[in-house]
Amino acid sequence: MIYQLVKKEAREILRDPVILGVAIVLPVIMLFLFGYAISLDVDDVSMAVYDQDRSQESARLIDAFVGSGYFTIEHYLDSPGQVDRVLDKGEASIVLAVPPDFSRDVNLGKRTEVQVIIDGSFSATALIVSNYAASVVNRYTEDLLERRGEAAAGTVGINPRVWYNPPLRSVNYIVPGLFAVLLMAFPPLLTALSIVREKERGTIEQIYVSPVSPPAFIVGKVITYGVIAFFEMLLILVIGTLWFRIPFKGSVPLLIGISLIYVLTTVSIGLFVSTITRTQFQAMFLSLIVTLMPSFLFSGFLFPIATMPYMLQLYTYVFPARYFNDISRDIFLKGVGLEYFIGNAVLLIIYGGALFIAASLKFKKKVA
């Protein structure tokens, strides 16, 4: 009896490609994605150099950073104002500032210090980068003493400064990143379930025969669930800043405006999912697959995108959470204006508009 039941279930599973995919293919895909996407190693740290000495000795120090294999020089700076710019724009994770009297002090046997300014948006990464920099400077000092002798050479110290998150509190970068994750997870799910629920109940047939146009129907859904998601965003903002005491350095109206664009984009994702699924289970499953997991792995929420393999870095551009995560943290921790992330904002608008059009066309096809 039991054997016959097992045989029956096995036959049904083998005939159902969805179950086979969930049982076999999906775990393998997740294994590869997690294995390559999750990395706590920090390599090829983007670095800018503000060398005020421009001497042979300062060049040796810079070469020591490059030769360590940890750092890649992206910019050479000419003024203190450029330090703010490259860090605000995320063009460098660390800036090495060499004082103008560096070589003179070294030649006179005096102690001198170089300054490293570190982007503390990712607290764990910032701590590792700071340790890397200290290790490079220590090795350079040891080499200097070997070349010149302890009596004839000065020692070089390091003065690290962490910007944007000086205490290196992990909650300071986790909570702003949660904006992108939570608004990507729940609004699409609620929106997808709403339309699929109408399909299962048969009430969608009334829409098909009514004079309501597909774009109008989609707009109605977008507005309704967009308002719900917008209040979710406000709730997260209030709790994050007041309860967790996250420093907020940017513009509240700017964050709300960009969040509204992002909310409409995430709701559009749910609408599109609803047009290609028939049951609430399918809608829920697909929504979680295309929203929650990518927003955790490929938005830079927990793991810096720069630490991922190059092909996966390109893959992250497919997900809107990547763009909003950068915007949210930049506004929260750096206090930057729209000009610093206008590209990400435009991409969100294009992404949301494309999904809205795709959902409308798909729905129109069903009506026809």
pTM: 0.76
- CATH code of 45-163, in short, is 3.40.1710.10
pLDDT confidence tier of residue 150, bands split at 50, 70 and 90: low
| pLDDT(366) > 60 | no
Q: CATH 3.40.1710.10: which residues of the chain?
A: 45-163
pLDDT in tens, 107-124: 887 888 899 999 988 887
pLDDT confidence tier of residue 14, bands split at 50, 70 and 90: low
Q: Which helix (H) or strand (E) holds 159?
A: strand 156-163
Strands of the sheet containing 71-76, edge to edge, are 71-76, 45-51, 94-98, 112-119, 156-163
Residues sharing a CB contact under 8 Å with residue 83, sequence separation 6 or more, in sequence order = 48, 50, 77, 95, 97, 117
Whether 156 contacts 199, CB under 8 Å: no
Instruction: Give residue 5's pLDDT.
Output: 57
